[in-house]
Structure 1
Amino acid sequence: MTRRGLVRCTMLFLPLVLYLYFSVVFELMANVSEEDAVHKEITHTALASKTTISYFRKTKPVDTSFREKTLRYQRRNDSDSVNPCEGYKTKCLYKNALFTCENINQIELREKIGHGVTKQAFLGFYRGENVVVKMVTRHQKEARECLDGLSGSARSDGFKRSRCFIFPTMKLMKEILLLQQLQHEGFLRLLGYCVRSEESDSTDLTEHGVVAVYEKGTSISVAKLTDLPVRDKILQSLHLISFFQYLANSPLGSLRIRDFKIDHFLMVNSTIKMIDLDDVDNLEPSCDAYSVESNTRRHPCRYGISCEMGLCQGHNAKRNLERASELFFRHLLSPDAFPRKCFQLLQDINQSLRELSLNYNGIRRSLTKLLNSVINLH
Structure 2
Amino acid sequence: MKRREILRCLMVFLPLLIYLYFAVMLELISNVPEQGKGVTSQTDTIQKTFFEKTNISYLQQTKAPDADFYWKPSLSERKKYGKFMSVCKEYQSKCLYENIVFTCENIKSIKLQEKIGHGVTKQAFLGLFEGAEVVVKMVTRHQKEARECLDGLPNRDRSDNLKRSKCFVFPTMKLMKEILLLHQLNHEGFLRLHGYCVRSEESESTDLSEHGVVAVFERGTSLSIEKLKGLSKEDKIRQSMHLISFFQYLANSPLGSLRVRDFKMDHFLMVNSTIKMIDLDDIDNLEPSCDAYSIESNTKRRSCEYNLTCEMGLCNGHNAKRNMERANELFFRHLLTPEFFPRKCFKMLEDINQRLRELSVNYHGVLRSLKKLLDSLVYLH
Give the direction of change, closer, same or farther, for the CA distance of 1:292–1:356 in structure 2 (3 Å limit). farther
**Normalised by the size of structure 2, how large is the TM-score?**
0.81
1:186 CA drift (Å)? 0.2
Q: Check conservation: 2:140, 2:204, Cα contact below 8 A.
A: yes
In 1, the alpha carbon distance for the partners of 2:35 and 2:287 equals 59
Residue of structure 2 equivalent to 1:17: none
SS in 1 for 2:181: helix
Residue of structure 1 equivalent to 2:111: 108
1:187 CA drift (Å)? 0.1
- Corresponding letter in the other structure for 1:77: K
Residue of structure 2 equivalent to 1:265: 268
In 2, the alpha carbon distance for the partners of 1:142 and 1:82 equals 37
Aligned 1:30-49 pairs, distance under 5 A: none
Residue of structure 2 equivalent to 1:28: none
1:61 CA drift (Å)? 3.0
In 1, the alpha carbon distance for the partners of 2:344 and 2:90 equals 57
SS in 1 for 2:158: helix
- Corresponding letter in the other structure for 1:314: G
Larger helix proportion, structure 1 or 2?
1
Q: 1:135 aligns with which of 138, 141, 144?
A: 138
In 2, the alpha carbon distance for the partners of 1:54 and 1:85 equals 15
SS in 2 for 1:112: strand
1:63 CA drift (Å)? 1.4
In 2, the alpha carbon distance for the partners of 1:139 and 1:85 equals 35
1:70 CA drift (Å)? 2.9
In 2, the alpha carbon distance for the partners of 1:58 and 1:156 equals 51
Residue of structure 2 equivalent to 1:66: 50
Aligned 1:291-306 pairs, distance under 5 A: 291=294, 299-306=302-309
In 1, the alpha carbon distance for the partners of 2:308 and 2:256 equals 17
In 2, the alpha carbon distance for the partners of 1:209 and 1:110 equals 19
Give the direction of change, closer, same or farther, for the CA distance of 1:357–1:292 in structure 2 (3 Å limit). farther
1:97 CA drift (Å)? 1.2
In 1, the alpha carbon distance for the partners of 2:33 and 2:39 equals 10
In structure 1, list runs of 5 or more residues that go unmatched.
1-34
SS in 1 for 2:59: helix
Q: 1:285 aligns with which of 268, 284, 288?
A: 288
- Corresponding letter in the other structure for 1:76: W
Q: Check conservation: 1:132, 1:215, Cα contact below 8 A.
A: yes
In 2, the alpha carbon distance for the partners of 1:274 and 1:254 equals 16
In 2, the alpha carbon distance for the partners of 1:297 and 1:51 equals 66
Give the direction of change, closer, same or farther, for the CA distance of 1:83–1:49 in structure 2 (3 Å limit). farther
Q: 1:77 aligns with which of 72, 91, 107?
A: 72
Q: Check conservation: 2:191, 2:217, Cα contact below 8 A.
A: yes
- Corresponding letter in the other structure for 2:344: K
Give the % identical residues: 67
**Normalised by the size of structure 1, how large is the TM-score?**
0.81
In 1, the alpha carbon distance for the partners of 2:34 and 2:341 equals 63
SS in 1 for 2:311: coil
Q: Check conservation: 1:94, 1:100, Cα contact below 8 A.
A: no
Alignment partner of 1:374 is 2:369: no
In 1, the alpha carbon distance for the partners of 2:338 and 2:298 equals 42
Alignment partner of 1:251 is 2:230: no
SS in 2 for 1:66: coil
Aligned 1:352-367 pairs, distance under 5 A: 352-367=355-370
1:310 CA drift (Å)? 0.3
- Corresponding letter in the other structure for 1:171: K
Q: 1:164 aligns with which of 152, 164, 167?
A: 167
Q: Check conservation: 2:51, 2:85, Cα contact below 8 A.
A: no
- Corresponding letter in the other structure for 1:67: F
Alignment partner of 1:211 is 2:214: yes
Count of residues in Structure 1 that have an aligned counterpart in Structure 2: 338
In 2, the alpha carbon distance for the partners of 1:270 and 1:85 equals 30
Greater radius of gyration (CA) = 1
1:50 CA drift (Å)? 8.8
Alignment partner of 1:238 is 2:227: no
In 1, the alpha carbon distance for the partners of 2:288 and 2:35 equals 63
